[in-house]
């Protein structure tokens, strides 16, 4: 199938010199393609073709090809959440940026990388741009850029095309009428000729046989053209097109809309996007299809490790609760207050202990000692009883040790955590 689309022979053209052999250093020969301007012979319309010799076919094939060469302006829209895939350009070196995906929160987030020179010459990556926030702002720009005037202009162009289609239909209808007239004239001439004049009769008979075929071909071409141009816009369709301005945000944000379709919409409105990055700012120069320009200035998104950090307010709350509660009690209190950790998960005792170690908070043992309370084992040794007896006395408020005040519950809550 690709050979049919690429080879001009299938479009009715005769060519010679499309390829040539090149001698390689090892003595082997390689066949290389030659540009059209260097072909020896190119004769269009030499024979009937399967497809038309249209430059649009070649342009469409070039646009849909994988954008590996330096002569490619953009790559085809593909799957994946990267909205600017194929049309984003590095603002430092002008090279095309590629895509790398990473998972975060169960989603694939894109990152745009300028690494062509790094791959070719083993150099560091030129620029790395986090793409999630940039894609969101670019999509919002597309929604805000499509004004109602664009739809009105599209309807005007559609009306002009309908007018031209009507003129062409009238010309084709006139051609059918002329063919019908000539067919009828050929029939009448043949019927009125003298049968004895065989030479004239044979000529008129041949004309009569040819005229119906010409009429049939003209009628078939007319019917085919009518089928192709019958798709004129009805008033209901025009009203629907006018509503697309308000429907576009809904279509764009609909989860059922494939990402490839969003990319196709973006390519209708965007020519390319040139991005640069500083330490804390991403600047995107958006070039629209109509020649206008827009500039987006965005802060650099925080790295993943920083996003997953527990909030400072939650850490301060844990530090405050450690004075009177155990890790298990603190985790229950944080869950009841709806305070998650940096990853959005509910706290468990193990997570609370991890926060204490990571942010170097005073441990529960140190707080007990700083408050003048005695650990469970030390209390048992001091009283000459077992640790179980100390627990029972603590519950029954029977501890009478100078370092422990009865009003503090004998320090039982603090002691139990130090067993």
What pLDDT score does 406 carry? 32
What pLDDT score does 285 carry? 92
CB 271 within 8 A of CB 263: no
The rounded distance, in Å, linking the Cα atoms of 19 and 402 is 103
Strands 41-43 and 14-16 come out as antiparallel
List pLDDT tens digits, range 335-372. Answer: 998 888 887 788 998 999 988 988 888 888 788 778 77
Would you call 400 helix, strand, or coil by DSSP?
Answer: coil
What is the CA angle 342-346-352, rounded to 5?
A: 75
The rounded distance, in Å, linking the Cα atoms of 289 and 188 is 60
Q: DSSP secondary-structure letter at 221?
A: H
What pLDDT score does 403 carry? 40
What pLDDT score does 151 carry? 59
H-only helix segments in 146-197: 148-192
Where do the structural domains in the chain lie, given as residue ranges? Answer: 1-64, 80-270, 308-361, 368-419
What pLDDT score does 281 carry? 92
The rounded distance, in Å, linking the Cα atoms of 272 and 90 is 11
Which residues in the chain land under pLDDT 70?
Answer: 1-2, 54-75, 146-158, 161, 228-235, 237-247, 290, 395-419
What pLDDT score does 66 carry? 58
Q: What is the 3-state secondary structure (H, E, C) of 353-380?
A: HHHHHHCCCCCHHHHHHHCCCCCHHHHH
What pLDDT score does 284 carry? 92
CB 287 within 8 A of CB 272: yes
């Amino acid at each position: 199938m690709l050979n049919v689309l690429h080879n001009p022979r299938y479009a009715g053209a005769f060519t010679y010199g499309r390829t040539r052999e090149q001698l390689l250093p090892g003595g082997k020969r390689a066949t290389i393609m030659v540009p059209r301007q260097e072909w020896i012979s190119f004769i269009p319309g030499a024979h009937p073709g399967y497809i038309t010799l249209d430059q649009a076919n070649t342009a469409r094939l070039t646009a849909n090809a994988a954008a590996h060469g330096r002569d490619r302006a953009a790559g085809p829209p593909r799957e994946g959440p990267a909205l600017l895939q194929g049309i984003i350009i590095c603002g430092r070196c002008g090279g095309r940026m590629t895509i790398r995906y990473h998972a975060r929160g169960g989603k694939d987030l894109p990152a745009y990388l300028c690494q062509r020179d790094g791959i070719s010459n083993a150099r560091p990556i030129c620029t790395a741009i986090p793409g999630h926030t940039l894609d969101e702002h670019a999509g919002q720009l597309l929604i805000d850029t499509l004004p109602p005037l664009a739809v009105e202009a599209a309807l005007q162009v559609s009306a002009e095309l309908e007018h031209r289609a009507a003129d062409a239909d009238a010309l084709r209808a006139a051609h059918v009428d002329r063919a019908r007239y000539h067919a009828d004239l050929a029939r009448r001439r043949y019927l009125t000729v003298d049968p004895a004049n065989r030479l004239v009769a044979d000529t008129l008979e041949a004309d009569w046989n040819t005229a119906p075929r010409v009429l049939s071909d003209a009628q078939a071409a007319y019917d085919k053209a009518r089928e192709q141009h019958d798709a004129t816009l009805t008033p209901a369709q025009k009203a629907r097109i006018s509503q697309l301005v308000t429907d576009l945000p809904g279509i764009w944000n609909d989860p059922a809309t494939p990402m490839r379709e969003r990319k196709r919409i973006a390519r209708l409105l965007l020519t390319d996007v040139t991005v640069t990055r500083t330490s804390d700012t991403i600047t995107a120069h958006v070039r629209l299809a109509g020649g206008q320009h827009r500039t987006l200035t965005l802060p650099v998104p925080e790295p993943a490790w920083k996003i997953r950090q527990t909030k400072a307010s939650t850490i301060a709350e844990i530090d405050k609760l450690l004075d009177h509660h155990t890790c298990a009690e603190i985790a229950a209190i944080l869950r009841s207050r709806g305070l998650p950790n940096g990853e959005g998960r509910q706290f468990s005792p193990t997570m609370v202990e991890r926060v204490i170690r990571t942010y170097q908070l005073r441990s529960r043992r140190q707080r007990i000692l700083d408050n003048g309370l005695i650990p469970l084992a030390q209390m048992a040794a001091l009283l000459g009883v077992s640790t179980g007896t100390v627990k029972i006395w603590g519950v029954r408020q029977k501890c009478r040790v100078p370092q422990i005040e009865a009003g503090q519950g004998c320090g039982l809550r603090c002691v139990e955590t130090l067993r």
